[in-house]
Amino acid sequence: KHKDFALGNYAFSKNGRASYDEIKEMPPYEEFVESGEELYNEKFANGKTFANCFPNPAIGGDYPYFDEKKQEVVTLGSAINQCLKDNGEKPWKMTKGKMAHLQAFFSYSTLDEEKPVNIKINSQAASEAYERGKEYYYSQRGYLKLSCATCHVQGAAQRVRNESLSQLLGHTTHFPVYRLKWGAKDKNSDGLGTLERRMAGCIKDQGQNPPKANSKTMKELLYFMAYMS
């Protein structure tokens, strides 16, 4: 079913879906959502909170968007860091830690309100940003000569070793994500990561250097992916 694609490869992997449903009975990530809610309500040094920047936390499906004034793509991570800077606070790392926790709270708030993905292309400049993201997604790079599309369009639903390859449709809807791999291999990680973190790891697996998490290239890549969902 169309809406099942929001679950990634669990849309077609029976074993994966069974494991997903089982882990939801006692989710290992609940504490991170609660931590994100605490961060949302925690006061900055000036007395304000993230609620001043994001009055309604159910914004998971509204990012990334194209800012017509700045003429650039704004991701949720960059918006969070801009809020911190505007309030005299230091920006956070884009891939994990507090950033992932707050985004998890935003995502769960969006899920609770049943708000769908709402990404728009309203101008020529926005369309060009989308096209650059699309070009990156479909371009073969690195010594393996792979692209994102190699696995997630042409190879969707196939297997690589023990991994089921997920599909482009719905890719951005279920982040941040909790991965046992991240918690086991990275002593500085609690297993939760943002979409930027996952994309960087995937691009490394293709045999190439990933763009920086807050770079124009990464933002436009995520804009393309989000619009496709």
Tell me the catalytic residues. Answer: 202
Q: Are strands 163-164 and 177-178 parallel, antiparallel or unpaired?
A: unpaired
Q: Which residues pair with 73 in a beta bridge?
A: 66
Cis peptide before 28 (omega within 30 of 0): no
Q: Which residues pair with 160 in a beta bridge?
A: 163
Cis peptide before 176 (omega within 30 of 0): yes
What phi and psi values does residue 184 have, to the nearest 5 degrees?
A: -80, -35
67: exposed, middle or buried (Cβ count in 10 Å: 0-12, 13-18, 19+): middle
Integer Cα distance of 35 and 221 in angstroms = 29
Integer Cα distance of 221 and 229 in angstroms = 13
